[in-house]
Chain A
């Protein structure tokens, strides 16, 4: 498949080979994840002290993120300059001043600079490295980092603009709305999804599907298209924030029932409605906000259930979705309990999210023989601008706008 040929100029058509083609996948890792984008790598709360580190990946590249002596955050490739072994193989931990590769004990400082070579001068003058070997010319690739509201992002490209510019003022404002004070991590889970990573990102941006696929949303009015809300799309198309505002007149709306849509069920009631006991905590009426940063980061506020999600591509047909649930450091015990209960909505067993776990796989299997055909992304027109309705696929088209820009399609 010649994957450089896009079938139509319109953002409203997406060719199915883009979820299947191996060469295209390799190009994505290079041009998107290793390209001019900011990739989420960890929370500042994960690495509060000097020497605290976490390992992660940027696309396919393993990286180490570490807090240095000055309180800054460094990120470098998790690959020894010698033979290429992982320098750190735990999820995280603390190193005092240096990382040491276990293979031949080459060591690195907290900036990822090569500092020590075991037996560099050999033994009794025999063996060792050649005298003209320059340590400073060898080392894992270093990424630039930036922090924003407790999130740590990294980029390999010199061309990536500052994060504020990358996101644009609207998306930036929506991140600051949620992450307005120090957070505390409440749990981590990984969901292994049997689909191309882009199908999940599209699902996150697809405001049209949420209350149609998810009965839980529709029935309990967590989000319905007939409620207030809209979707913000950044100028480059790549980032989005969708939001729902509860409106009392929606209680009388019969739009779902009139169309016979499965997700509004009059019979379905919770035995213990404490699951949905919600308090307004952000000084506004937004009860749900889903935000994505291109290419693979998501910040979620569903009532009082807060999480970040990282999309990790694993080949054309599989991905990991890494969930980190969080609350705020100043949460009361009641608030903690409220969040624990509402976390039932999300994650691998989420009343809402579990369906997003399988629907991408249904597409991946459905399109197995359709590589030369296109999908239709035409709700709400063919543009990628912000809209005051969620019955639109504007932010999905925005994703493809940014995708084509970075990929050169």
Chain B
């Protein structure tokens, strides 16, 4: 897969979240898919759990409807700084990609702080309309301490 298409995909993904167009977020994934937020320690120890875990686009949509309608938390938004993707391999049209990220959380009182860093470990494929989508996005956070709560996906 061309690097420029992966860069575009990541940029659009980050922009959807950072501009709070959360309803667009599930569309970056194929259906079924795998989305998981975990830590480097859990991955190293072969532990499967995530703080978020979804294996269908429906579950991703439910994350957003919960965030919009159900969950209570203080107003906040993210700023993603996403690095350059590295294509680790390509097999039958699926690219194995790793991309570093940094997320700053901006609280409603104006506080800005680094909330998470890590890397996305992705499997990217073209959909029927020839657009790259995530068959898999494992968000591997560098650390395992999460401040207060994680409402918005990474």
Q: Are B49 and A191 in contact (CB under 8 A)?
A: no
Q: Are B50 and A354 in contact (CB under 8 A)?
A: no
Q: Which residues on the A side are within 8 Å of B19 (C-beta)?
A: none
Q: Which residues on the A side are within 8 Å of B52 (C-beta)?
A: 344, 349
Q: Which residues on the A side are within 8 Å of B51 (C-beta)?
A: 189, 343, 347-350
Asked if A268 is an interface residue, CB under 8 A from chain B, the answer is yes
Q: Which residues on the B side are within 8 Å of A265 (C-beta)?
A: 69-70
Query: Which of B56-64, B86-94, B123-131 lies on the face that meets chain A?
Result: B56-64
> Complex: how many Å from CA A4 to CA B53?
47
Query: Which of A180-188, A232-240, A378-386 lies on the face that meets chain B?
Result: A180-188
Given contacts A189-B51, A351-B70, contact A271 B65 (CB under 8 A): yes
Which residues, 182 to 224 on A, are CB-close (under 8 Å) to B? 185-194, 213, 215-216, 219
A108 to chain B, nearest CB (A): 26
> Complex: how many Å from CA A186 to CA B50?
9
Asked if A357 is an interface residue, CB under 8 A from chain B, the answer is yes
Choose among B55, B65, B146 the residue that contacts A268 (Cβ–Cβ < 8 A): B65
Q: Number of contacting residues on B, CB 8 A?
A: 36
Given contacts A191-B146, A348-B51, A349-B37, contact A268 B59 (CB under 8 A): no
Asked if A363 is an interface residue, CB under 8 A from chain B, the answer is no
> Complex: how many Å from CA A193 to CA B146?
9
Q: Which residue of chain B is the closest to A217 with respect to CB atoms?
A: B70
Asked if A15 is an interface residue, CB under 8 A from chain B, the answer is no
Q: Are B146 and A189 in contact (CB under 8 A)?
A: yes
Asked if A261 is an interface residue, CB under 8 A from chain B, the answer is no
The 6 closest A-B pairs by CB, nearest first: A187-B49, A272-B58, A271-B58, A349-B150, A348-B146, A357-B149
**Which residues of chain B have a CB within 8 Å of any CB of chain A?**
37-39, 41-42, 47-56, 58-59, 61-63, 65-66, 69-74, 144-151
Given contacts A187-B42, A191-B149, 4 further A-B contacts (CB under 8 A): A191-B145, A215-B71, A336-B48, A340-B50
Q: 27 A-B pairs, CB-CB below 8 angstroms? A: A186-B48, A186-B49, A187-B50, A188-B47, A189-B49, A191-B148, A192-B146, A192-B147, A194-B147, A265-B70, A268-B65, A268-B69, A270-B62, A272-B59, A275-B62, A340-B49, A344-B54, A344-B63, A348-B146, A348-B148, A349-B51, A349-B52, A349-B151, A354-B149, A354-B151, A355-B72, A355-B149
